[in-house]
Amino acid sequence: MKVTLFTTCIVDFMAMNVGKATVELLESLGHEIDYPTNQTCCGQPMYNTGYVEKTKSTIKHFIETFEHAEVIVSPSGSCVSFVKEYPHVLADDKDWKERAEKVAAKTYELSQFLIDVININDFSAKLPGKAVYHSNCHTARFLKVKEQPLQLLSKVEGLELVDFHNSDKCCGFGGTFSVKMGDISAEVADEKARYIQEANPDYLIGADFACLMNIGGRLSRIGSNIKVMHIAEVLNSK
Amino acid sequence: MGIKINDKSFKKNLEKNLNDDFMRAAMVKAQDLINKNRANVLSQLGDGNYQEWQKLSGEARAHAIENLDFYLNQFAENVVKNGGTVFFAKDAKEASQYVTNLAIEKGVKKVVKAKSMVTEEIGLNHDLIDAGVDVKETDLAEYILQLDDWNPPSHMVVPSLHLNKTQIRDVFAKNGYSGKDIPEDLAAFARAQLRNEFLTADMGIYGCNFAIAESGAITLISNEGNIDLCTSAPELQVAVMGMERILATYEDADICISLLARNAVGAKSTSYTTFVNGITEEGAADGAKEFHVVIVDNGRSKVLKSQFKEVLQCMRCAACLNICPIYRQVGGHSYNSIYSGPLGVVLTPLLAGYEDFEELPYMCSLCGACTEVCPSNIKLHSLIHEHKRVLAEDKKNSAFWGVSMTGAGKVFSRPWMYKLGTGIAPLMTKPLMEDGKIKKGISILKGWTDKRDMPALEKTRFRDWYASRSKGGNK
């Protein structure tokens, strides 16, 4: 299948390895990658801060950049959940709303694509050690993608997945919330980091780089040596 | 007191609460305990399919709000049929004055009160005390707070959640208690004091969980028995309710009560479910001889006509407070409103205006946990987002964010600007780097870097790697 890749802006300029792992993983499964170089951001930062009108030009740009695709895959459930919101944001404009609906319908988070669309069962990932999985709120609650990442991780050779206290709770990132209410956000991240440490894992795995950057930022500050990995990197580990 | 708790700035309140280690530990403990119990009792509903119940209770609440004018009329007619008097109060002042004047007119010296959010909202205690009436809060937590110089409630269901047993012992000690900080002993002391208050009160005041339109009954659910004493001992009784407390039928109440108790305290039901049906029959030993219902608007009809209408479906179970990751850290008083947590974020600016509360909508990471648990099916996180939109677009509340987000919108819709910006960003952030990470941010970035590191911006962006790879380079 020809897979059009939406890397997300944050992966583009802050986590090149996540994008790279996504490409290599999909190619190893026999898919052809299409990477539209005009892609930027999904628009969520402006929208979630309340600037709905100022988000629209970004959304329209996204639609124009991606509507040619057969299927759009992204290593971020949060950004995908926002693409699914596009028809609602553009509800006032019939033509754009229809275009938004078409794009939203063919956009998938990576683990969702792997399980629900191409249904892969067998891949030869290998990563020895103990890991916890942080469930991203938008992936789990808005996209309802809860089991797929766990299903994939259970097949990684050598990887032992353990739970930790309140693993389904928000990490405190929340986009601009993380700087606008930085004090509160950092306290949420701190509690998350402490519970993860209690489980004593080698790896913290997540399906959304933003949360990983937040929790990882706190782990790094308190001197933890837990390695932070995106699920694409884990599935691409040989 | 009214809706606003104090005159300190948002920042001052927040700072104080973030530094209150005891309160914060209590929040964490309470949330974890209530949620564990909640999950347990919800899993017993509908063979584990409690979402079905959640849907039904949401529908019951939505139906009542959709047809509020009809059901309010029906309810009021039935209250009168049951021998009661109904007063529609357009605002807090009217509501509070009606009750206060009634107390003065009837020569009331002492009032026993059951816990009620709406009486806090209309500032009733203050007016009664000013009129020389002795007011006694009889809910144990409210009783503690009253003795503690009217310390404001920090939770809708567990008002004194921010105090520990030693602090409570100290409060009681100033009022004649000489025992230790043993919860059972403290409760026994309060019980002994309160028993006498019930027997000597001239007036009982209580709130209303649900007002049943088809019968005119006021439904009260509680655990301590104090509400039943308020509804039975004094001959003169007043129920104060927000105008949205309506349910059409007992059948609807059955579903809503089941979910209210389970969500509020993680129990299958509360110890007491009481229906007050107007005045008592002649010759009865207890119950109201005179019964008034005060139905409070105080901004609610304005909400009914707005895009926030859905919030009126709330049944005040506090499930959203108990699940909220922000409330967990900051506690109820940080919201500076008697209504805290996600519900408070939505409701407070609607009832009390944005002016004093414009920080509230930003106390949310939009994680959506509140919406997921709400038994009234309110999309709380979407309503919080709508507040942010109103502040940003209609009120243009922040020049900084206005300019930043205009800039972001321009950059993200013009690929050349985006590519240029992300290309030079690593250079621009170089002065902030330490050991390969951003550790000391400036301006808003400080909010992040005070307690967290941030990864360095990539010199080789993903797009650069991908471009070089397609050219046959760096694989």
In three-state secondary structure terms, B131 is coil
Asked if residue B329 lies in contact with residue A187, where contact means CB atoms within 8 angstroms, the answer is: yes
Q: What angle do CA A184, A190, A195 make, to 5 degrees?
A: 135
> CB A54 to CB B391 under 8 A?
no
Question: Which ranges of chain B have pLDDT less than 50?
Answer: 474-475
The 8 Å CB, 24+ separation contacts for A56-62 are A56/A89, A56/A90, A57/B409, A57/B410, A57/B412, A57/B413, A58/B408, A58/B409, A58/B412, A58/B413, A59/A86, A59/A89, A59/A90, A59/A100, A60/A90, A60/A96, A60/B413, A61/B412, A61/B413, A61/B414, A61/B415, A62/A86, A62/A103
CB atoms within 10 A of CB A211: 28
Domains and CATH numbers, chain A: 2-116 (no CATH), 123-236 (3.40.50.11810)
| Residue A99, Ramachandran bin (φ over 0: left; ψ between -120 and 50: alpha; else beta) | alpha
> CB B363 to CB A173 under 8 A?
no
Share of residues in chain B with pLDDT > 90 (%): 82
Q: Locate the chain A residue with the closest alpha carbon to B453.
A: A217
Q: What pLDDT was estimated at residue B474?
A: 46
- The label of the residue with tokens 């109060």 reads B89
Q: What pLDDT was estimated at residue B434?
A: 86
CATH number of B51-302: 3.40.50.10420
- For residue A210, give both structure tokens: 């933003």
HSE (CB half, 13 Å, CA atoms) of B354?
15
- The label of the residue with tokens 């309802």 reads A144
Asked if residue B369 lies in contact with residue B325, where contact means CB atoms within 8 angstroms, the answer is: yes
Judge if ipTM > 0.90.
yes
| Sign of the alpha-carbon torsion through B442, B444, B449, B453 | negative
In three-state secondary structure terms, B63 is helix
Per-residue three-class SS string for chain A: CEEEECCCHHHHHHCHHHHHHHHHHHHHCCCEEECCCCCCCCCHHHHHCCCCHHHHHHHHHHHHHHCCCCEEEECCHHHHHHHCCHHHHCCCCHHHHHHHHHHHHCEEEHHHHHHHHCCCCCCCCEEEEEEEEECCHHHHHHCCCCHHHHHHHCCCEEEEECCCCCCCCCCCCCCCHHHHCHHHHHHHHHHHHHHHHHHCCCEEEECCHHHHHHHHHHHHHCCCCCEEEEHHHHHCCC
Annotated domain spans of chain B = 51-302, 399-467
* B360 lies within 8 A of chain A by CB: no
> CB A46 to CB B448 under 8 A?
no
Q: What pLDDT was estimated at residue B472?
A: 58
> CB A40 to CB B447 under 8 A?
no
| Sign of the alpha-carbon torsion through A121, A125, A131, A133 | negative
- Residue by residue, DSSP assigns B317-376 as --HHHHH-HHHHHH-GGGG-BSS-HHHHHHHHHHHH-STTTTTGGGS-----HHHHH-TT
Asked if residue B374 lies in contact with residue B320, where contact means CB atoms within 8 angstroms, the answer is: yes
Entry pTM: 0.95
Q: What pLDDT was estimated at residue B91?
A: 97
Question: Which ranges of chain A have pLDDT less than 50?
Answer: none
CB atoms within 10 A of CB A225: 7
**B interface mutation test: which of A14, A17, A65 has the most B CBs within 10 A?**
A14
Chain B residues with CB under 8 Å of A58 CB are 408-409, 412-413
Which one, of B473, B425, B457, B416, lies nearest residue A37 by Cα? B416
Q: What pLDDT was estimated at residue B46?
A: 73
**B interface mutation test: which of A146, A184, A198, A222 has the most B CBs within 10 A?**
A184
**Angstrom distance (rounded) from CA B110 to CA B116:** 18
**B interface mutation test: which of A33, A49, A84, A168 has the most B CBs within 10 A?**
A49
Q: Locate the chain A residue with the closest alpha carbon to B422.
A: A13
**Angstrom distance (rounded) from CA A149 to CA B76:** 54
**Angstrom distance (rounded) from CA B237 to CA B263:** 29
- For residue A31, give both structure tokens: 């898919």
